[in-house]
Structure 1
Amino acid sequence: MMALAASAAAQGSPSAMTGVANPEQAHIDYILKCQGCHQPEGGGDIAHTPPLQGEVARFLHVPGGREFLARVPGVASVDLSDARLAQLLNWTLQRFDRSNMPADFEPYSAAEISQLRRQPLRLEREATRASLLAAMGERTRDH
């Protein structure tokens, strides 16, 4: 556990990450709740798990993308409090895709997470993701 704490401490300080009061806890939560599928460096598995690295913050640029990130099944159903989940999402966005973060990023709050996770995506997850990715493609072409 000491190695986890040291590794987590290397991920950034609280002042370096908006909406992340405890980056060490967020990193440990990522290790325990997300890393098994998304991999240690957020690369995912293209066949089964989307990458986070260099991709996840792009969802914040299209309508519905912010909500999508909190409503995907693995996020909405994780056994963390709303506050810890908000922190984990904020940490994940900044850790794996800081370059795509909107300049006016507002961190997820516990209240927002509480509301969004009450409506988790189920069978419509893939279609919703495909629609958002298409919107991202259009945004990229327009800018």
Structure 2
Amino acid sequence: MRSHSVRPFLCTALLLLGATAGLRAALPPMGLLPAAITDPDMARADYIEQCAGCHGVNGSTAPAALPELRGRVGWFLCTPDARAYLLRLPNVAHSRIKDNQQLADMMNYVVFGLGGASAPPAAAPFTADEVARERQHALSTTTLSAERARQVDAAIRICNAPASLRLLYPGQKG
């Protein structure tokens, strides 16, 4: 009788282990992250808890009408205004993560981990001081889509970002 009661627990544990392994495989390798991240595992966990529900665990949202992060969000580091825009987004600026270094770490995970090669090679990681300064100016008086379009146009014009950045995700139908 006892072996039958252990079996469901064992099956559940094995499923969770498999799900964890699958999740780890879908996430960017930690080697792409800047050394400035104080706790890379926490940064990844914060992203999953705070952002992945909308932007996807691996930063891919297609075909949802949300900006895809994977391989694209790094372009926002190419101008000071676009960089500030990322930190001023309402869900970032008003994040439940109150510690500015922890939020900087999560955003560095987003732009360097999920953004991958789209982040300019010389781009500096976000700092706690920068997060503290920019989150005080959360976007609230402009539509997010209009502000995103403005920042994307600047990245295309100034930094040679691909025109496909205007789409919410690669392959989007107009």
Q: TM-score, normalized by length of structure 1?
A: 0.83
* Alignment-derived partner of residue 94 in structure 2: 77
% identical aligned pairs:
27
Q: Could you tell me which amino acid in structure 2 is paired with residue 96 of structure 1? A: L
Alignment of 1:13-52 (within 5 A): 16-45=33-62, 47-52=64-69
From 55, 60, 70, the equivalent of 1:53 is 70
Cα shift at 1:107? 1.2
* Alignment-derived partner of residue 134 in structure 2: 116
Q: Which has the larger radius of gyration?
A: 2
CA contact (8 A) 2:54 2:66 kept: yes
Which sections of structure 1, spanning at least 5 residues, go unmatched? none
Question: Which has the higher mean CA deviation after the structures are superposed, 25-34 or 97-106?
Answer: 97-106
| Counterpart-to-counterpart distance in 2, 1:59 and 1:68 | 8
Cα shift at 1:126? 2.4
Cα shift at 1:103? 2.2
CA contact (8 A) 2:100 2:131 kept: yes
Q: Could you tell me which amino acid in structure 2 is paired with residue 120 of structure 1? A: A
Aligned Cα root-mean-square deviation (Å): 2.7
Which sections of structure 2, spanning at least 5 residues, go unmatched? 1-15, 162-174
CA contact (8 A) 1:18 1:90 kept: no
* Alignment-derived partner of residue 98 in structure 1: 116
CA contact (8 A) 2:28 2:113 kept: no
After superposition, the Cα gap between the structure-2 partners of 1:47 and 1:122, relative to the gap in structure 1 and judged at 3 Å, is farther
